[in-house]
Amino acid sequence: MEKICPVCNEINDIEYICDNCGGKLVDKGRIQEYIDDYSADMPIDDYKDYCLHIFVCNKCGNKKKEYIHKVII
Ligand SMILES: [Zn+2]
Ligand SMILES: [Zn+2]
């Protein structure tokens, strides 16, 4: 058995609504890939049960971090 992130693997289309304007938050990928100026000596550990994604509102640009619960396949 393996735990995978449903968003990374496009199993589920998870949609979040912006707190700010009610717009749709769009997945921008895992936080590790999104933050490229992250210091090399501060690696972000992959969470065992969660995948941390960045979502950005397509209307107002509001950014939100969401922990995606990994599913067992
Ligand atoms: Zn993921
Ligand atoms: Zn918004």
pLDDT in tens, the chain (73 residues): 889 999 999 887 778 999 999 999 999 988 876 555 554 454 555 667 899 899 999 999 999 999 999 999 8
The count of domains in the chain is 1
Neighbouring residues of the ion ligand 1, judged by CB less than 5 Å: 5, 7-8, 51
**Residue 5 CA to ligand 1 centre (angstroms):** 5
**Residue 15 CA to ligand 1 centre (angstroms):** 13
Q: Count the alpha carbons within 13 Å of 37 in the hemisphere toward its beta carbon.
A: 0
Strands 71-72 and 63-69: unpaired
Q: What is the pLDDT of residue 34?
A: 59
Alpha-carbon span 35 to 70, nearest angstrom:
21
User: What are 69's two structure tokens?
Assistant: 């619960």
Q: What is the pLDDT of residue 6?
A: 92
Note down the domain range covering 25.
3-72
Q: What is the pLDDT of residue 1?
A: 82
